[in-house]
């Protein structure tokens, strides 16, 4: 697998790999929200296993997108917990996407569908 490859969750059951468990961005947000009203989006790394944060190995940053529109960039240092809660409002239904970078294990994608009601 190359440096520039984007890794995604490919195993969803018992066969989920240890790398997937600690790198795939886990997005917690409501399934349905009201148009134009703020709601919280919490992103953690990962879901089943907490990604280590040390000078040799850490999550450097993630970008949050609504479909293909960039909403935020969050940078981490090794002294931080790789977790952030952002307040977001949306105008239409979309897929929230998170692209994250681990200095050792590269780029990872996570997403969550959000339905926006008028």
Number of residues that bind Fe ion (CB under 5 A): 3
Whether residue 35 contacts residue 91, with contact meaning beta carbons closer than 8 Å, is answered with: yes
What is the rounded CA–CA span in Å between residue 33 and residue 53? 32
Least distance in angstroms from the C-beta of 76 to Fe ion? 12
> Among all chains, which residue has been given the structure tokens 């293909």?
68
The residue among 57 and 95 lying less far from Fe ion, judged by its C-beta, is 57
Shortest Å, Cβ 25 to Fe ion: 12
Give least dist CB 113 to Fe ion, A: 26
Segment 54 to 113, residues that bind Fe ion, using CB under 5 A: 102, 104-105
Can you spell out the DSSP letters for 4-20? TPEE-----STT--HHH
- The residues that touch Fe ion, with contacts defined as CB under 5 A, are 102, 104-105
């Amino acid at each position: 697998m190359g440096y520039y490859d984007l890794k995604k969750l490919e195993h969803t059951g018992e066969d989920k790999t240890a790398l997937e468990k600690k790198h795939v961005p886990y997005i917690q947000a409501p399934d349905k929200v009201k148009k134009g009203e703020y709601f919280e989006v919490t992103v953690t790394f990962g879901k089943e296993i907490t990604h280590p944060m040390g000078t040799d190995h850490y999550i450097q940053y993630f970008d949050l997108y609504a479909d293909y529109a960039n909403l935020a960039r969050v940078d981490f240092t090794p002294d931080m917990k790789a977790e952030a809660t952002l307040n977001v409002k949306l105008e239409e239904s979309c897929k929230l996407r998170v692209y994250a970078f681990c200095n050792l294990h590269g780029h990872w994608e996570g997403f969550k569908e959000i339905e926006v009601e008028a």
